[in-house]
Structure formats: C-alpha cells, structure tokens
Chains A and B, each alone.
Chain A
C-alpha cells in the first residue's frame, strides 16, 4: 500500500523568505502527486500536480514543486513567502496503476506559518 509522509507538523518562515514544505512518498510503480492547501474553515484547494514530464511543476499562487524520483520526494516551494500563505498543506499520492481501495492517500498535513 502507498503512503505519504510530511515530516514536519509545522513550518515557520519569515515573510519574504523562501519556503519549503516537505513530502516523501512510497508507492508501487509510478505516482501521481498532488498538493492541496486548506485555509481555516474552508475545504481543500488544489495547488499543483505531477503527472508526467518535467520534474518541476508550477502551480497556483506562485508555488512550485519538484518531483525527485530517486529520493521519492515532492517538496513544495515558494521563492518569497507571504503572510497570506499561512495555511494547512496536504501532499497526496496515487499510483498510476493499481493501488488499494481508491488508491489516493493523503499526508497528515503541515501547518505553514508565515511571520510578518
């Protein structure tokens, strides 16, 4: 069965600094990878995804993520953090083929706090 690890419960970054939210995964075969963001009292919003092709994926609100197959990682990054980026971020993985149940597995989430 596949799994997703978000090793940090919370990441603190000063406004204007670069940010990274880490995600590693375990899956049999090739993965589809996703990042979602959840603002307080809201549902999850899609940020970006890796399906195939270029390992660097660009998404909404200036976020990007790099797929690294050898390290089984899909870290979320942004060059310059904004206070409005403060939210809960989820990484998710689904195997391209196979997978138990529906095959989509979410990490436990990382709270990103941007300090003014």
Chain B
C-alpha cells in the first residue's frame, strides 16, 4: 500500500530534550516536506527536500533541522524543543515539486512542557 508513515504519532516531552520524528514513504517520491498545523493558522511549511541531500527552509524553519540521506526517509529533528513547538506535525511527499499533489502522513502530535 502506497503510504507515508510517521513515528511517533503522539509525543510528550520536556523543554530542551532532543527528539526526532521519523517520516518514510514507499512511493519513490523525490519531493518531501514537513508542515506544522496550528489552530487558526492552517498548515505552515517547516522544511522541504527536492531530492536526496537537497533540503531547504520553508516558512517557519527556526528550531528545526532535517536531513535527506535516503530517498524514502526525511526525519524532523528538534535539537532543543520549546513549548512554542507544541503542535501537530505532518510529513508529505509527492512525485515532483511542481504540479503534483502531496501524500500526507497521519500526523504527529507533539507536546513540549
């Protein structure tokens, strides 16, 4: 089954404790992206990747890191989480950047206390 998977689905952590949210797709997509969803703000892009070893900042990259060492995986790293990073996070992938719809993972609900 074609899908985007994220782990964990739910995470409660404390300020400053490094964490990684994994994202994997099995569709051989070149383009991958991370978003955060907050009430009243819709989806905002954090980082995106056009292909292996090619990543770039989205609209709200501060406090986040990503890597793309393999085509299928695109982990999101929070080196020192803060409460304002409490949010619902989505990973997405598509065949290419332009003109193609994105496939979204199920989401990771992160709470930083």
Q: Residues of A with Cβ closer than 8 Å to B?
A: 32, 34, 36, 41-46, 49, 51, 90, 94, 96, 101-102, 104, 106-109
Contacts and interface: CB of A to CB of B under 8 A. Distances in A.
Interface residues of B, number: 26
A96 B102 CA distance: 16
B74 interface: no
Contact of A107 (B35, B42, B58): B42
Contact of A49 (B43, B101, B104): B101
Nearest to A96: B98
A44 B59 CA distance: 19
Contacts of B44: 106
Contact of B43 (A45, A46, A90, A101): A90
B68 interface: no
Nearest to B33: A102
Interface string B80-102: 00000000001010000111011
B90 A104 contact: no
The 7 closest A-B pairs by CB, nearest first: A43-B104, A108-B42, A46-B101, A106-B43, A44-B104, A102-B48, A106-B42
A55 to B, nearest CB: 17
A106 B42 CA distance: 7
Given A43-B90, A51-B99, A96-B98, A104 B107 contact: no
12 contacts: A32-B99, A42-B107, A43-B104, A43-B107, A46-B103, A94-B98, A102-B58, A102-B97, A104-B33, A104-B45, A106-B42, A108-B40
